[in-house]
Amino acid sequence: MEKIVIEGGYRLKGRVKISGAKNAALPIMTACLLTDEKCIIKNVPKVVDVATLSGILGELGAEVESGEQGRLVIKAASEGSSTAPYDMVRKMRASFCVLGPLLAQRRRAKVSLPGGCVIGLRPIDLHLKGLRALGARIDVEGGYVRAEAPQLKGARIYLGGPCGSSVTGTANVMMAAALARGTTIIECAACEPEIEDLANFLNKMGAKISGAGTPRLTIEGVDSLHGAEYEIIPDRIEAATYIIATSITKGEVTIEGARLEHLAAVMDKLSEIGIVLAGEDRRLKVISPAKFTSTDLVTLPYPGIPTDLQAQFTALLSLADGISVVTEKIFPDRFMHIAELNRLGARVRKEGPHAIITGVSGLSGAPVMASDLRASAALILAGLVARGKTVVNRIYHLDRGYERIEEKLSSLGAQISRIEDERGSSEEVIYA
């Protein structure tokens, strides 16, 4: 098993180009099941989640070809297996998004329930509620969701949950509704840019979807969809991770390719604590001062600060002057990284859905264990500034969502490398 080794204390300088958005690519890949014509998707990041989903699509009878510069060609068969097995779906929750397209195109689906996740409970009840409203007959038995629908019919559906709208739930229902008879209106739909990207791709395939990016989606069902060529949006979470990496090392980096309109809440909070940000033409220059101040922040559905950046902000604020409070409104238990950050010298304590952070003057390197994808990134950020050597173990989480992160950071001056753990490991890899 591999690990990341970091020698801390080097300021990041230079330029870094942002890859395509993993969280947009995955549902768009599953949308290719809605047609038997060829789809070409560009700017797809080379990450483990994409490889995992490619394997699932292959199991469902689709041909997936990977090309240069993030180009994927996907051609699904009109008929084929409608079963997404446990051994594959357990590795990645987003693979559950095959349910809607299979149900709409092949009239039936058998999809394993997604596995557990260390960031907290993520139920699928909103997915099933929305698909049942479209007329699907659904049973949950033996760890599988079994769904049938001779003909889906449009409906008015409310998809709000206790923590807000569901991104993957919205994606699943929207894809199914694209081939339903009549009009579907989704109230309290997710507004994330990745959902808007999916809607734009479906419209290029011939769907009739309006309201993407707002809480109300209107989908006029069509008889069939065709192939399309589409370019994925840049990854706003990756962009923000490099902005925070620059800030924590007191560096000066230009972020290239990011859509600044997707980062408004993040940029506002960083400006509040003293980070200098200057952006134009999808290019953002980040300059970190010698000191920055504490703040309070709350994770919220888009356009708020994403839960996927909570761990990275926690690492940054551990070095701010004063006391900060980070409140997690999406996944209240998503604080597994706190104990590992404290191993590096941070002073963070959890109180319910809050992390109380007392800023310290510096961190010191130590071996740490990554618990999930974004926690991995937070530990790397902390390692970049910690005195001495930091070793981040269990980095298979990291590779799910960051393309060549150690290479990109090295190009900015970080002393970081990926090495094989000589002790080896028999630990089974399960992706959350």
Residue 118 has pLDDT above 80, yes or no: no
Active site residues: 117
Q: In angstroms, what is the C-alpha Rg of the chain?
A: 21
For residue 162, the 8-state DSSP code is T
414 three-state secondary structure: coil
**Burial level of 423, CB count in 10 A (0-12/13-18/19+)?**
exposed
Mean per-residue pLDDT of the chain: 94
Residue 114 confidence class, pLDDT cut points 50, 70, 90: confident
Residue 8 has pLDDT above 60, yes or no: yes
Residue 117 has pLDDT above 60, yes or no: no
Q: What is the mean pLDDT of residues 292-304?
A: 97
Distances 148 to 33, 80, 105, 131, 296 between C-alpha atoms, Å: 16, 15, 11, 10, 47
Q: Pick the residue with more confidence: 109 or 120? A: 109
Between vectors from CA 124 to CA 173 and to CA 230, what angle results, nearest 5°? 40
pLDDT confidence of residue 93: 78
Residue 149 has pLDDT above 90, yes or no: yes
Q: Which residues of 145-176 are buried (b: 16+ CB within 10 A; e: fewer)?
A: bbbebeebbbbebebeeebbbbbbbbbbbbbb
Q: What is the pLDDT of residues 307-351, one digit of tens each?
A: 999 999 999 999 999 999 999 999 998 999 999 999 999 999 999
Q: Percent of the chain at pLDDT above 90?
A: 86
Residue-range domain boundaries for the chain: 2-17+235-420, 22-231
Q: What is the mean pLDDT of residues 19-37?
A: 97
335 neighbors 301 (Cβ within 8 angstroms): no
277 neighbors 285 (Cβ within 8 angstroms): yes
Q: What is the mean pLDDT of residues 226-233?
A: 98
pLDDT confidence of residue 122: 61
Residue 119 confidence class, pLDDT cut points 50, 70, 90: low
User: Domain spanning 22-231 has what CATH number?
Assistant: 3.65.10.10
pLDDT confidence of residue 427: 44
Identify which of 1, 13, 4 has the alpha carbon closest to the alpha carbon of residue 412: 13
Per CATH, the homologous superfamily of domain 2-17+235-420 is Enolpyruvate transferase domain (3.65.10.10)
Against a cut of 0.85, is the pTM above it? yes
Two domains, one topology: 2-17+235-420 and 22-231: yes
Q: What is the mean pLDDT of residues 238-267?
A: 97
pLDDT confidence of residue 123: 76
190 neighbors 165 (Cβ within 8 angstroms): yes
Q: What is the mean pLDDT of residues 382-403?
A: 95
Longest dimension (CA), the chain: 63
Instruction: Kindly report which listed range (51-60, 192-201, 287-296, 422-431) carries the lowest average pLDDT score.
Output: 422-431
Residue 373 confidence class, pLDDT cut points 50, 70, 90: very high
Residue 145 has pLDDT above 90, yes or no: yes
